[in-house]
């Protein structure tokens, strides 16, 4: 029987959100049970947000490149998405958009026009909890995808195989569940679509002429939709997507027995994601002690989550954008069609120090290179949000519980208390004494530099 307590709710929030604040946790606990928290907040359908600017409706043209508008528009789009993540409240929507963005990986550098990238981002948001099978159908004719995987120039007489390969290998089935012949035939089916203006259109003269083709053991006059329907009749399809979800939200090594249970739920619900996610997040599997704090935060989780924990009202999004590139997770620019591998790839001797430099910048107002960062923390105001602000040991305990998912040793907590006191004694501690702001900053900096802080 799953127990409703702060340990389990904190674990849930750390996986389905980009971090959470004290007030977020209190609000989540107010729901009183997992069903209401999931149905009324985490998995609740919310409206699609307004676009970042009017340029999203401009027909892409060479003039954009000539006038050097693409870079500033991509910057604006990225900051817009960061703002969505920061303001997510208790909704999992944006976390799912990022998961799907990584699953259907497209690189802005090749797509080139931010209008198409924005359009795809909204498409993913529209299906965040929805029909995954229909999403694959829609993504197959999405302008960004047609450009990225070269479907835009594919003809039935000379098909490009890129999308046909990736839709089976990376999007639906996984290696070993199709043949090269399946790819070649499927490529003919996916031909005929072209990007025109802001949309994609079908040109029958560019499609395959045969009366039928054979793909994955079935012979028919397939079109995109009927072929994708057939792909999803393969048992591997439900298991593949569930394995990806398990690795992202539970643990980087999938439990294949549980993946099969998830796949059965997904098939029973005709590939709609919301029932699957609710099944996962109300399962005892998800709350196993060995699962908790076993996920290395992605740069996006670190960047957004740190700001949320510190309850920063107007963080420096330019700082986020620049540091994300250094931390090797630039939104809209995954490394390749397979996306970001994640987990241990996020940490190296180089990126670890830069991660610490980023969290430092939220407290000091300066990047590692001395560049000024706006919107830094007011340490006294933040500390006084806690009823334990004037009780140093209790304050450290509360902050550790809020900021760090991996249990700290007593020695670690004693070290943090010493950092906070900074030479004074507990009896003399007060947020009203001189240098209290510097001591709080020093404590927060030390805590957020811990290896344990990198885990969620």
Q: What is the pTM of this model?
A: 0.98
Average pLDDT of the chain, as a whole number: 97
Give the tokens for residue 331. 């939104």
Q: Has residue 301 got a pLDDT over 90?
A: yes
Q: What was the pLDDT predicted at 213? A: 97
**Number of residues that make up the chain:** 456
pLDDT digits (tens, 9 = 90+) for 217-243: 999 999 999 999 999 999 999 999 999
* Distance between CA atoms of residues 422 and 366, nearest Å: 22
Spatial CA neighbour of 167 closest among 96, 218, 104: 104
Sign of CA dihedral 408, 412, 413, 419: negative
Ramachandran area for residue 217 (φ above 0: left; ψ -120 to 50: alpha; else beta): left
Only one residue has tokens 């802080």, namely: 453
Is residue 22 exposed (0-12), middle (13-18) or buried (19+ Cβ within 10 Å)?
A: middle
Task: Check residue 437 and give its pLDDT.
Answer: 98
Per-residue pLDDT, averaged over 247-269, amounts to 98
pLDDT at 1: 81
Residue entry with tokens 């999992």: 92
Residue range 117-137, pLDDT digits in tens = 999 999 999 999 999 999 999
The Cα 425–Cα 436 span in angstroms is 13
pLDDT reading at 65 higher than 90:
no
What confidence tier does 180 reach under pLDDT thresholds 50, 70, 90? Answer: very high
In this structure, the dihedral spanned by the alpha carbons of residues 269, 274, 279 and 282, taken in order and rounded to 10 degrees, is -160
End-to-end, the C-alpha distance of the chain in Å comes to: 23
The reported pLDDT for the residue numbered 42 is 98
Q: Is 194 helix (H, G, I), strand (E, B) or coil?
A: strand
**pLDDT for res 396:** 98
Question: What digits encode the pLDDT tens for the residues 135-177?
Answer: 999 999 999 999 999 999 999 999 999 999 999 999 999 999 9
pLDDT the model gives residue 38? 98
* pLDDT surpasses 90 at 296: yes
Are residues 280 and 247 in contact, defined by beta-carbon separation less than 8 angstroms? no
Residue 351 has phi, psi (to 5 degrees) of -70, -30
365 confidence band (pLDDT: 50, 70, 90):
very high
Domain ranges across the chain:
235-287, 380-454
């Amino acid at each position: 029987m799953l127990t409703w307590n702060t340990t389990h709710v904190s674990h849930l929030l750390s996986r389905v959100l980009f971090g959470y604040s004290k007030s977020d946790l209190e609000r989540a606990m107010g729901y009183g049970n997992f069903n209401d928290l999931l149905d009324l907040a985490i998995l609740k359908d919310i409206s699609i947000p307004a676009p970042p600017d009017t340029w999203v409706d401009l027909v892409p043209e060479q003039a954009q490149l000539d006038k050097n508008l693409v870079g500033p528009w991509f910057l604006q789009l990225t900051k817009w998405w960061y703002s969505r993540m920061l303001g997510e409240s208790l909704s999992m929507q944006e976390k799912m958009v990022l998961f799907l963005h990584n699953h259907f990986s497209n690189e802005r550098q090749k797509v080139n026009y931010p209008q198409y990238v924005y359009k795809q981002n909204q498409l993913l948001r529209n299906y965040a909890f929805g029909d995954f099978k229909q999403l694959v159908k829609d993504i197959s004719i999405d302008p960004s995808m047609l450009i990225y995987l070269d479907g835009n120039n594919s003809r039935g007489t000379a098909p490009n195989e890129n999308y046909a390969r990736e839709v089976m290998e990376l999007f639906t089935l996984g290696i070993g569940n199709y043949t090269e012949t399946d790819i070649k035939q499927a490529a003919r089916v996916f031909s005929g679509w072209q990007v025109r203006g802001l949309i994609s259109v079908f040109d029958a003269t560019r499609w395959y002429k045969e009366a039928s083709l054979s793909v994955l053991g079935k012979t028919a006059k397939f079109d995109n939709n009927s072929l994708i329907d057939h792909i999803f009749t393969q048992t591997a399809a439900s298991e593949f997507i569930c394995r990806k979800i398990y690795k992202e939200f539970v643990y980087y090594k999938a439990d294949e027995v549980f993946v099969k249970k998830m796949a059965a739920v997904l098939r029973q619900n005709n590939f709609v994601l919301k029932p699957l996610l609710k099944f996962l997040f109300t399962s005892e599997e998800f709350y196993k002690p060995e699962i908790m704090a076993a996920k290395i935060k992605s740069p996006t989780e670190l960047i957004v989550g740190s700001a949320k924990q510190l309850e920063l009202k107007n963080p420096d999004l330019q700082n986020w954008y620049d540091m994300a590139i250094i931390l090797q997770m630039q939104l809209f620019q995954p490394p390749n069609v397979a996306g970001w591998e994640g987990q241990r790839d996020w940490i190296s001797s180089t990126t670890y120090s830069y991660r610490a430099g980023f969290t430092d910048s939220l407290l000091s107002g300066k990047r590692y290179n001395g560049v000024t960062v706006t919107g830094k923390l007011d340490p006294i105001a933040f500390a006084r949000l806690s009823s334990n602000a004037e009780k140093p040991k209790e304050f450290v305990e509360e902050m550790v519980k809020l900021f760090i998912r991996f249990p700290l040793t007593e020695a670690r907590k004693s070290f943090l208390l010493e950092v906070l006191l900074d030479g004074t004694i507990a009896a003399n501690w007060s947020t009203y004494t001189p240098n209290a702001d510097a001591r709080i900053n020093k404590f927060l900096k030390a805590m957020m530099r811990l290896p344990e802080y990198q885990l969620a």
